[in-house]
Amino acid sequence: MPLNELLQRLVSLTPGQKSFLSVYLDLRPNRIGKKLYPVFLKTRLREISSLLPARAAEQSLCNQDIKRIQKYLETELDPAWKGIAIFACAADDLFLPIPMPLFPENDVTLSSIPQLFSLVRHKALYQTHAVVEANSRQARLFLIRLGTLSKQINLSWENKHSTRFGRMGWSLPRFQRHLQEHRKQRGKEIVENVKKLILREKPEYLFLAAEEEMEAELKKQLPASLIKKMVPLSVLDLHAPDHKLLSTAAEVLRAISKEKAETFSKYILEEAEPLGRATSGTEATLSALQNHQIERMVFDARFKATGWGCPGCNSLGIGGVPRSCPYCQATIFPSNLREKILSKAQSQGVDLFFTENFSPLLKAGGVAALLKYKTLKKTTGHYIARREKGYPM
Ligand SMILES: [Zn+2]
């Protein structure tokens, strides 16, 4: 299932007073091969369980989640994964492990909504993509789905004539025609396999590391729909091992999405916001989000926001926690607004972008949004809040 569908499932769960466990684990072993996450996880889960009232239904549900997480990690963990995000909520019969292509910071949170930011900020790496390495003697084809290697094909050919016997006494033009014919045949074989392996998966990108002549040959033979998605990995040594090839492609994928997000941020801050078609900063953006005005949104990975949430009327507000809700007088609680904003945006189907330490956006508050339509009046006042029925806090 693509990441977006998994996220939609996580943000569209039935409302109600529930507790989600959100677990992020760095699965790397240390220098002597020992994995560090089990100790961290055990300590943190024990702390969380002890905070809940003993023998209450909430504690029993939380303990079910804890057991399920531990069992999964002991028996089903794929050793190829670098990190994992797990979302569990026994009250909703939800258990969702998602591999992470980068090492996350170890973290376990029990909260009223799944903590998605650390996962979603890497969403670019979850785009389906293909990586092809090709030279005149061999080719490797990979399909990466949901951040992990899903299919692989290796092809190799023997160069009988040219390697052992030189040109076999042929004239140079004849020998070159012969090589060209080889390349054409091999290119054809690669393209057939590319079609078989990836065409149906609709990849967003096809990363190609190839010898110059082979690249030209593949460009002649690949379908136009794939040529459009082709990105050359020109700096790469063609004999690089598989994992190096795939991590280079992932780095390029990350750089492409980072650049897109930066361009988008600049557009918002320099052009759209002065025209009233965008917002920047937590307060104005939260207000627009609660009014369902946002079309696309950009966060910096370093964005943080704290505030409060009212369980009575579902209002959200930034800054310090007032004594009671200014709208319904209910008791209100401090809230991680970064997670609330992201979750709300995801549930509204807003298109999300992420920059990484991009100072123009950070200076503007770390978050900005392009609006569906122009705003006539800017919201003012200390609290940005709005009543919304049926959406869990
Ligand atoms: Zn309220």
Distance 340 CA to ligand 1 centre (A): 16
Q: What angle do CA 292, 293, 299 make, to 5 degrees?
A: 95
Distance 308 CA to ligand 1 centre (A): 10
**Residue 162's domain is classified under what CATH number?**
3.30.420.60
Looking at the fold, whether 298 and 363 belong to one and the same domain comes out as yes
Distance 110 CA to ligand 1 centre (A): 22
pLDDT at residue 161, as a whole number = 56
Looking at the fold, whether 220 and 273 belong to one and the same domain comes out as no
Examine residue 246 and state whether it is found in any structural domain, yes or no. Answer: no
Looking at the fold, whether 334 and 275 belong to one and the same domain comes out as yes
Looking at the fold, whether 116 and 136 belong to one and the same domain comes out as no
Q: What angle do CA 299, 122, 70 make, to 5 degrees?
A: 120
Distance 334 CA to ligand 1 centre (A): 13
40: containing domain: 1-121
91, 88, 52, 84: which is closest to 69 by C-alpha?
88
Distance 212 CA to ligand 1 centre (A): 64
Distance 62 CA to ligand 1 centre (A): 27
Distance 13 CA to ligand 1 centre (A): 22
* Span 144-166, pLDDT tens digits: 999 889 999 999 988 655 544 56
Distance 21 CA to ligand 1 centre (A): 25
Distance 324 CA to ligand 1 centre (A): 8
Q: Which token pair is 54?
A: 């003993």
Mark which of 180, 208, 240 sits at the end of a domain. Answer: 240
Looking at the fold, whether 74 and 141 belong to one and the same domain comes out as no
Ligand 1 ion: residues within 5 Å (CB)? 310, 312-313, 315, 325, 327-328, 330
What DSSP designation does 270 have? I
Distance 279 CA to ligand 1 centre (A): 25
pLDDT at residue 122, as a whole number = 94
Distance 389 CA to ligand 1 centre (A): 11
pLDDT at residue 381, as a whole number = 40
**Residue 14's domain is classified under what CATH number?**
3.30.960.10
> Rounded distance, CA 286 to CA 272, Å?
17
β-strand pairing of 351-355 with 230-232: unpaired
> Rounded distance, CA 329 to CA 323, Å?
9
What are the start-end ranges of the H helices in 102-228? 117-120, 160-164, 172-198, 212-221, 224-227
Looking at the fold, whether 278 and 382 belong to one and the same domain comes out as yes
Distance 310 CA to ligand 1 centre (A): 5
Looking at the fold, whether 146 and 25 belong to one and the same domain comes out as no
Distance 309 CA to ligand 1 centre (A): 8
**Residue 278's domain is classified under what CATH number?**
3.30.1330.30
pLDDT at residue 265, as a whole number = 97
Distance 358 CA to ligand 1 centre (A): 35
> Rounded distance, CA 317 to CA 35, Å?
40
Please state the domain count of the chain: 3
Distance 332 CA to ligand 1 centre (A): 7
pLDDT at residue 392, as a whole number = 33
Q: Which residues of 5-42 are buried (b: 16+ CB within 10 A; e: fewer)?
A: ebbeebbebeeeebbbbbbbbbbeeeeeeeeebeeebe
> Rounded distance, CA 54 to CA 87, Å?
23
What are the percentages of helix, strand and coil residues in the chain, rounded to 5? 40, 25, 35
pLDDT at residue 387, as a whole number = 36
Distance 383 CA to ligand 1 centre (A): 12
Distance 352 CA to ligand 1 centre (A): 28
Distance 382 CA to ligand 1 centre (A): 15
Distance 329 CA to ligand 1 centre (A): 6
Examine residue 249 and state whether it is found in any structural domain, yes or no. Answer: no
Sheet of 138-145, strand order: 148-156, 138-145, 129-134, 205-210, 230-232
Looking at the fold, whether 274 and 378 belong to one and the same domain comes out as yes
Per-residue pLDDT of the chain (393 residues; tens, 9 = 90+): 789 889 998 988 766 677 899 999 999 888 888 888 999 999 999 999 888 887 778 888 888 999 999 999 999 988 888 899 999 999 888 999 999 988 999 999 998 889 999 999 999 999 999 999 998 889 999 999 998 899 999 999 886 555 445 666 777 888 888 888 888 899 999 999 999 888 888 899 999 999 988 999 999 999 999 999 999 997 667 788 999 999 999 999 999 999 999 999 999 999 999 999 999 999 999 999 989 999 999 999 999 998 998 888 878 889 888 889 988 998 888 889 999 999 999 999 999 999 999 999 999 999 999 999 876 554 444 333 333 333 233
The pTM score is: 0.85
Distance 380 CA to ligand 1 centre (A): 19
